[in-house]
Each structure stands twice: as C-alpha cells, then as structure tokens.
Amino acid sequence: MPSWKDLNKFLINDNWIYEPRKSGTDKHYKKRLSNGSILETRVSRGTGEISSGLFSKILKSMECSKSYFNRVLANRRKSTDDPVKRI
C-alpha cells in the first residue's frame, strides 16, 4: 500500500493545487476538471502507510484508478490527463 508521502507526490505530479490552511494537521489539495467541477482531497502529514480501505476511498474521491495512480507516481512528471478520462 502507498504511504501518505506517495499520495502527496502523486498530487503534485498530477497538477493538484496545494491550499495551505491556518489550522489542522492535514494538507489540502484541489483540482479543477475540464468540465468545471472541482475535486478536493486531504493528505495526512503522517509518514506511515495508508490502509487499503482508506486508500480505495481516497481514489474514489479523486476519481482516479489505482493503475493511473501508480503510473503518475512512477513517471515523476506532471500529468495533463483529466481525471474523468483516466478511470
């Protein structure tokens, strides 16, 4: 299973926008899709692994498949794909 650090790297590579918050312990990210909708997710500042159940929920909220996640994470370059098209 991926770690919180892996999720953070994925979001950066997939062009999500970091939105700093004054309070709380999570990092918040947003992404605007070509159809105008906005996706939001949070990343724990922890360093451990993400449980499989939670990781599945995170992928669903990001409208992202596990294979796409792994591809973007492995490529280490910014993606231009729209999440709606990549599932």
As a whole-number percent, the residues of the chain with pLDDT over 70 amount to 86
Q: Is the pLDDT of residue 79 over 80?
A: no
Tens of pLDDT, residues 37-59: 999 999 988 879 999 999 999 99
Asked if 55 contacts 42 with a C-beta cutoff of 8 angstroms, the reply is no
- Cα 14 vs. chain centroid, distance in angstroms? 8
Report pTM.
0.80
> What is the separation, in whole angstroms, between the first and last Cα of the chain?
19
CATH number of 4-74: 3.30.920.30
How is the chain split into domains, by residue range?
A: 4-74
pLDDT of residue 81: 54
Give the bridge partners for 28, in sequence order.
42
Mean per-residue pLDDT over the chain, rounded = 86
